Structure 1
Amino acid sequence: MWTRRPIGDRGIGSFYYLAHGRNEAAFPDADVLWAVVGAVVLISIVVHGITATPAVRWLEARAG
């Protein structure tokens, strides 16, 4: 019933756009930006990993 959709493209996109912006302009705190983007992507992976199975089970129980 439910199909998996890759959500990693958003995290990879964040790194891509940061790298692109970094090449186009000078950012005084580029290291901080890399750290923030990395932390947000890592936290997102953990949260999605923890909540995906319970959320799908809840949706399946509600639909079925």
Structure 2
Amino acid sequence: MRAGGGPSPRGGRTHLKVARPPRFDGSKREELQGFVTQLRTYFRFHAGEFGDDASKVLFAATYLE
């Protein structure tokens, strides 16, 4: 049992939860780089969910309006 009452890290590592990216409609071009960065971050933290680049493209497409 851990003192302090916090959650126990799994395998000595803390599990981080990364939010899904927001929708991108293209109306503000200056937001594109941020959208792409958020996608890359999500892909990195959820690497096991995406078997190939095609899966990543399909996922990203669902966030385009």
TM-score normalised over the length of structure 1: 0.33
> Which structure carries more helix by proportion?
1
